[in-house]
Amino acid sequence: MRILDIRERSLPISRYAGPAPAGGLTTSVVAIRIDTGGSGQPITGYGYASVGRYAQGGLIRERFAPRLLKAADGLVGEDGGLDPFKAWQAMMAGEKSGGHGERCVAVGALDMALWDAAAKAAGLPLHAFLSRRLGTTPLPASKVRVYASGGYPYPRDDLASLAQEMRCFADLGFRHAKMKIGSAGLDQDLRRIEAALTAWGAADHLAVDAMNAYGPAEGLEATARLSPLGLWWFEDICDPLDFETQSTLSSAYAPPIGAGEALFSAAEAKLLARHGGLRPERDVLLFDPVHCYGLPGYLEILDTMTAAGWTRQAFWPHGGHLFGLHLAAALGLGGAEVTPFAFDPFRGLADVTVIADGYASLPQAPGIGFETNAALRRLFEEIAG
């Protein structure tokens, strides 16, 4: 078994439905071709850098892919197949602690592709492969609790478009949803929430994401005005590393709070647990497995937070991707995010996925199952050549 080739491409993505990019966001897509050592054809694993950050092409091509290729013959596990944990150690060789910056996302994108390839080589869907590899019990579920994410401010007809988006979420079978606030002032935020609730229904099935927009004063005003609504959760209220403000706002806001999306390491997670004032019995953790150096880094965060009193059910992986869906099943997490319309072509899950009463079925194809999404299959095959 050895890695033959690694390819990366940076792509524009949009927060809105439709193929036209908007907002300047990009992501990196990677394809890792592996010779399994048998008589069959090489296997290609696919991954991408999740959403919400930016492409990591330079780091991937100049730093981490060369390390993988250099170690290509030393990444075999005890079963004779590709060992993504050994590959992760090869990528991180010589890296210093701290200064996570964007390198964590570059490593995470490659890590996703490595797990895809390893599960394909074993002939198993990723959730089943991980359950066997990690020894998780009970066996992964056949379906995962999910919520629909979107609700970005529209450039035109914002309130009407937001309400229509919420109705579409419900029609697709989702029972919980999340929308964005924080960019247009609290008065407009409340108007957007009212429009969403008129279309959606119960406030305790709607979460809001401020995208770390509020400072201490604005955050206190926001928690005071949103608290009576009884929302499902209030996410990313302030700067992710301002644990003092996070703790103050947690004390001021009785309903659930979501945090962790913009933290990328176990060390940062430990600070959040110790100084963020969060309440394990009600709040939720939204770390993105790809942005946290991939699955090995995510497992470190999982261990850190469970040691601090959190249950695995508090974890809802950010990103809206199939990778997070598999992890939620294999690791027994609370559920996963889905973006039904945003971030084309990475929106949605597999074409065969069934959303029913707030649960998504798991793809049963070997690997992550990107090939079961027609748009993603075309994209990845083009990149792989």
DSSP 208-269: EE-TT-B-HHHHHHHHHHHGGG--S-EE--B-TT-HHHHHHHHHH--S-EEE-TT--SHHHH
Query: Per-10-residue mean pLDDT for the chain, 385 residues long?
Result: 92 76 82 82 95 93 96 82 94 91 95 97 95 81 94 92 96 97 93 96 95 95 97 97 97 97 97 98 98 98 98 97 96 96 90 94 95 94 90
* Cα–Cα distance, 47 to 138 (Å, whole number): 27
Separation CA 237–CA 30 (nearest Å): 32
Annotated catalytic residue 127:
no
- Could you tell me which residues are beta bridge partners of residue 146? 336
The pLDDT assigned to 19 comes to: 54
249 and 212 Cβ atoms separated by less than 8 Å = no
Beta-carbon contacts of 48 under 8 Å, excluding residues fewer than 6 positions away, are 27, 28, 29, 30, 109, 112, 290, 321, 346
d(CA 383, CA 110): 14
What is the per-residue pLDDT for 356?
Answer: 96
Tell me: cis bond preceding 345? Omega within 30 of 0 counts.
Answer: yes
Q: Which residue ranges form the domains of the chain, and what is each CATH number? A: 2-123 (3.30.390.10), 143-372 (3.20.20.120)
Cα distances from 328 to residues 8, 85, 182, 280, in angstroms, run 27, 19, 28, 18
Residue 70 has what pLDDT?
93
Which of 100, 180, 321, 326 is catalytic? The answer is 180
Active-site residue, from 100, 120, 318, 321? 318
Closest CA to 317 of 300, 340, 335, 294: 335
Residue 260 Rama label (left phi>0; alpha psi -120 to 50; beta)? left
- Quote the pLDDT of residue 148: 98
Task: Give yes or no: 120 in active site.
Answer: no
